[in-house]
């Protein structure tokens, strides 16, 4: 980037710490100051015995679905620790970030949406319409939306969830956010946005929700609107979408 579109601007990056490097680096390259403020912590699943047992039966399944890059990271690690990924198994994921994570691990040809990057987008694909009789294992964190599994069951598949990682809420002091004084906030999950809201008292909420909030998915943007954020900016998917929106927004601030 030859121009410093974000010069003088501080951007709060709320991704888990080990996933924030790319966006933080690009913000710096654009002249901005990334403020790392992870709203989720990601760790391996606690119940490794159950996960190992599920993975040992994976060859009996027709389809494995990975719902996030974290599911790819921890799910594939568990699978490879038990053996290898069968070349005959169909693999799907809900987004291009997860598909990229699979490719980086040498797994190509995953079924993935090219427009809407969520469960609804995956379920709309023709490859998942006729799944009657299929056995499907969904790799995810502890808990999460049931839409994907419930819809596949309604289409005649049997579904099993494999919790391969867990999420937790970091112990932040809301004063740290106030002292950081960001000019904008990026949020990449509804859960993280919920944690942020819980962290703040009414006075801080009133102050923070006046900041521009950049969200790469309509579901996050909708939650932000419900919380009363005044400047919700829906971006294209992934960190690339967030960065593009920030780059477009930055010069606007210099004219104010």
* Residue range 203-233, pLDDT digits in tens: 889 889 999 999 998 999 999 999 999 999 9
CATH code, 30: 3.40.50.10090
Are 140 and 185 in a shared domain?
Answer: no
Are 244 and 163 in a shared domain?
Answer: no
Helix, strand or coil, per DSSP, at residue 75:
helix
Number of domains in the chain: 2
Give the pLDDT confidence score for residue 66 in this predicted structure. 96
Alpha carbons within 13 angstroms on the beta-carbon side of residue 242 total 29
Residue 188 lies in a domain: yes
Instruction: Please name the residue that has the structure tokens 């967030």.
Output: 242
Share of residues in the chain with pLDDT > 90 (%) = 63
Q: Which of 102, 137, 167 is the last residue of a domain?
A: 167
Write down the pTM of the prediction: 0.80
10-13 vs 41-44, strand pairing mode: unpaired
Q: Which of 152, 167, 182 is the last residue of a domain?
A: 167
Least confident of 38-47, 59-68, 247-256: 247-256
Are 70 and 161 in a shared domain?
Answer: yes
Give the pLDDT confidence score for residue 34 in this predicted structure. 96
Residues 6+ apart with CB under 8 A from 81: 52, 55
* Residue range 176-198, pLDDT digits in tens: 888 889 999 999 989 899 999 98
Are 150 and 93 in a shared domain?
Answer: yes
> When comparing pLDDT for 1 and 158, which is higher?
158
Q: Is the pLDDT of residue 1 over 70?
A: no
Q: Which of 149, 167, 185 is the last residue of a domain?
A: 167
Mean pLDDT, residues 166-185 taken together: 87
Domain that residue 64 falls in: 43-167
Q: How confident is the model at residue 93 (pLDDT cuts 50, 70, 90)?
A: very high
Give the pLDDT confidence score for residue 170 in this predicted structure. 82
Token pair belonging to 115: 């427009």
Residue 150 lies in a domain: yes
């Amino acid at each position: 980037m030859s121009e410093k579109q974000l010069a003088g601007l501080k951007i709060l990056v709320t991704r888990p710490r080990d996933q924030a490097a790319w966006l933080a680096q690009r913000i710096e390259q654009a002249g901005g100051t990334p403020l790392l403020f992870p709203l989720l912590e990601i760790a391996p699943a606690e119940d490794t015995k159950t996960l190992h047992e599920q993975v040992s039966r994976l060859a009996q399944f027709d389809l494995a679905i990975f719902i996030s890059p974290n599911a790819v990271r921890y799910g594939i690690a568990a699978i490879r620790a038990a053996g290898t990924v069968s070349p005959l198994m169909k693999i799907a994921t809900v987004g291009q970030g997860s598909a990229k994570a699979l490719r980086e691990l040498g797994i190509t040809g995953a079924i993935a949406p090219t427009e809407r990057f969520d469960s609804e987008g995956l379920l709309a694909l023709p490859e998942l319409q006729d799944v009657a009789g299929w056995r499907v294992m969904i790799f995810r964190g502890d808990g999460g939306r049931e839409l994907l599994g419930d819809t596949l069951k309604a289409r005649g598949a049997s579904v099993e969830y494999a919790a391969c990682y867990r999420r937790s809420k970091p112990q932040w002091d809301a004063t740290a956010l106030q002292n950081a004084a960001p000019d904008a906030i990026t949020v990449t999950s509804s859960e993280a946005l919920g944690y942020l809201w819980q962290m703040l008292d009414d006075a801080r909420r009133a102050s923070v929700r006046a900041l521009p909030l950049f969200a790469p998915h309509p579901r996050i943007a909708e939650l932000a609107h419900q919380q009363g954020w005044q400047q919700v900016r829906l971006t294209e998917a992934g960190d690339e979408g967030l960065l593009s929106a920030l780059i477009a927004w930055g010069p606007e601030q210099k004219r104010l």
